Amino acid sequence: MQQNINKIKEIVGNSSDLVIKQFRIAEDSIRMAVVYTDGLTDKKVLDDAVLIPLMVGVRESTELTAKLRTHPDPISFLQESVLTVKSLSDADDFETLLLAILSGDSVILMDNMDRAMVASTRGWEHRSVEEPSAQSLIRGPREGFTESLKVNTAMIRRKIKDPRLWLESREIGSVTRTQVAFMYLEGIADDSVVAEVRQRLDRINIDGILESGYIEEYIQDATWSPFPTVINSERPDTIAAGLLEGRVAILVDGTPFVLMVPALFVQYFQSAEDYYHRWDISTLIRLIRYLCFFIALSGPSLYVAITTFHQEMIPTNLLISLVAQREGVPFPAFFEALMMEVTFEILREAGIRMPRAVGSAISIVGTLVIGQAAVEAGIVSAAMVIVVSITAMASFVSPYYNMSISIRMLRFPLMALGATFGLFGIIVGMIAIVLHLCGLKSFGVPYMSSLAPFHLPEQKDTLFRLPRWIMSPRTNAVNRKVRPHDFPESESLH
């Protein structure tokens, strides 16, 4: 036992947070030791389920002490008759031993034994369940995922009480050994999608996984596409709804954002709140999102193209007003728009990175002051400030932040096309974007489903959200098989 303890100390560099407690469980020579990492172990569980049964229970019971001395396998005897911890396993090599210690479990060593016991005593401090900050709703559940994998899986199981909800786990990262799990509904999720998720996760070879974004980059379909092909959410109700549709959820320990595949283009304009309001309200809000997507993508480029090449499309009174505003502006419309867009992106990034108490003040005051000062100085026109402001507000309407980033990225090349070729250039750019979207796939599912390829039954929940009683059959672009809603047939106990 002492040799094993010395070896553990040597491997971890005699770290100060490594706790080793040696003791005797009998008055003679039965020596034992418990090794754990301070801060990762629940000390109450360790005391109540491991140390007290060994140091008090065995010592005060002559019957247990006698059986322990004569038993051919003392470790098995302790596991079956003494220790009350919820989970116990054996370890006979240092790799398993150290992984357990550094994961928060306690390792129990016994003198004259060439294997150890691993007791499940994990219990570190973690953030409690709070309202999601990135995907807030007016009506709906107020709980969000945390950084604890076990808490997250429990929150999903609390919403889906079905034995067909299966969970598979694995460790990814040769150094961090991060716990990664994926959940799916057996019989509802497509078997080919589940197999593809399993294969892509097993293919990852990296030193460490610190956030689900690491996993997303490894498993996404189109690496060079500006459009995301993996959904991420911090809402358990959103993930539960995706699982019911046949999707696969990927959870990573240490992050509150859960990945979900396959992802479709229309899914980025659907919010969980759409299904908590009446169908007519949800349809109106969803159509507004699509309109804002078009405005955020092409608003500045249309303004630049029309004011530069197609003035005849503008009403006369408005044209006279725009010409009067631009009379003292020394820059072309494209550079004017580019300057304002870059300035707004800088202000937005500064507002995010600054402390929360002053971040909002900097973004609001900076926008008002800089915009007003730029107009008074004659650097930009007032109309351009209005166009850029409306575009910026429209980009925030998307329920998913990564889609709004894609819109911001594509806005600049469309502005260049509009400034160079006018509306013809914008149309060519739009056609290129649509062709690119139609060519994307997410885990074998066309990205533009159910618009391209068009599938009529799925239009009940694409651009519009029809009443729930019309949407009752379980048909969607991810898995078009109609599935039963009930539990598997119950069998009697044997």
Q: What is the pLDDT of residue 203?
A: 92
> Could you tell me if 317 and 440 lie in one domain?
yes
> Could you tell me if 258 and 387 lie in one domain?
no
> Could you tell me if 57 and 16 lie in one domain?
yes
> Could you tell me if 298 and 432 lie in one domain?
yes
Q: What is the pLDDT of residue 479?
A: 65
Boundary (domain end) residue, out of 446, 467, 484: 446
Distance CA 28, CA 30 (A): 6
Distance CA 180, CA 252 (A): 5
Asked if residue 412 is part of any domain, the answer here is yes
Asked if residue 202 is part of any domain, the answer here is yes
Asked if residue 279 is part of any domain, the answer here is no
Q: What is the pLDDT of residue 413?
A: 93
> Could you tell me if 244 and 327 lie in one domain?
no
Distance CA 300, CA 67 (A): 83
> Could you tell me if 162 and 106 lie in one domain?
no
Asked if residue 12 is part of any domain, the answer here is yes
Boundary (domain end) residue, out of 263, 279, 310: 263
Structural domain containing residue 204: 149-263
Q: What is the pLDDT of residue 250?
A: 95
| Domains contained in the chain, number | 3
Q: What is the pLDDT of residue 12?
A: 87
Asked if residue 381 is part of any domain, the answer here is yes
Q: What is the pLDDT of residue 420?
A: 92
> Could you tell me if 296 and 441 lie in one domain?
yes
Asked if residue 234 is part of any domain, the answer here is yes
> Could you tell me if 10 and 93 lie in one domain?
yes
Asked if residue 455 is part of any domain, the answer here is no
> Could you tell me if 345 and 424 lie in one domain?
yes
Q: What is the pLDDT of residue 137?
A: 81
Per-residue pLDDT of the chain (494 residues; tens, 9 = 90+): 888 899 888 888 888 888 899 888 766 668 889 999 988 888 888 888 888 888 887 777 777 777 777 788 888 888 888 888 888 888 888 888 888 898 888 999 988 888 888 988 888 777 788 888 778 888 888 888 998 888 999 999 999 998 899 999 999 998 888 999 999 998 888 888 999 999 999 999 999 899 999 999 999 988 889 999 999 999 999 999 999 888 999 999 989 999 999 999 988 998 888 888 888 898 999 999 999 999 999 999 999 999 888 888 888 888 888 888 877 788 888 888 898 888 888 878 877 777 766 666 666 666 667 777 777 777 888 888 888 888 988 888 888 888 888 998 999 999 999 999 999 999 999 999 999 999 999 988 899 988 888 877 777 888 888 888 777 555 566 765 555 545 556 666 76
> Could you tell me if 309 and 430 lie in one domain?
yes
Q: What is the pLDDT of residue 86?
A: 83
Asked if residue 270 is part of any domain, the answer here is no
Boundary (domain end) residue, out of 425, 446, 467: 446
Q: What is the pLDDT of residue 428?
A: 94
Q: What is the pLDDT of residue 319?
A: 85
CB of 214 within 8 A of CB of 206? yes
Q: What is the pTM of this model?
A: 0.85
> Could you tell me if 172 and 221 lie in one domain?
yes
> Could you tell me if 312 and 440 lie in one domain?
yes
